[in-house]
Amino acid sequence: MADYEVLLKTDGKQGLGAFKTYSFDLSILDIMMPEMDGFMLAKEIRKMNNTIPLIFLTAKTLKEDVLEGFRIGADDYLTKPFDSEVLLYKIAAILKGMP
């Protein structure tokens, strides 16, 4: 997608395993995943790397969920359905600030 190399994992435990194995420039997380939800995964990622940009992309629209995402350290929070062009611009804006 837009010349980004993407690694898809379908549950939180797989995502955590991938994060322990590979190096990423950015992580996009859903909240509602089997095995480990996105909030817990983000907390685990933050323990290992406090600087990697995190974007939540989720159907959870309640204010409490959005606030929790930002409390954990999200750089952005998008709700489904979402516009893929907007997502690409947000990714580009976040990565532009990386060394």
Q: Report the CATH number that the domain containing residue 69 is assigned in CATH.
A: 3.40.50.2300
Mean per-residue pLDDT pooled into runs of 10, the chain (99 residues): 88 96 96 95 96 96 96 96 93 82
Q: Is residue 91 part of a domain?
A: no
In this predicted structure, what is the pLDDT of residue 89? 93
Q: Is residue 19 part of a domain?
A: yes
CB-based contact 41:15 (threshold 8 Å): yes
Number of domains in the chain: 1
**Residues spanned by the domain of 40:** 12-82
What is the rounded CA–CA span in Å between residue 81 and residue 24?
Answer: 25
Q: Is residue 44 part of a domain?
A: yes
Q: Is residue 21 part of a domain?
A: yes
Beta-ladder partners of 78: 57
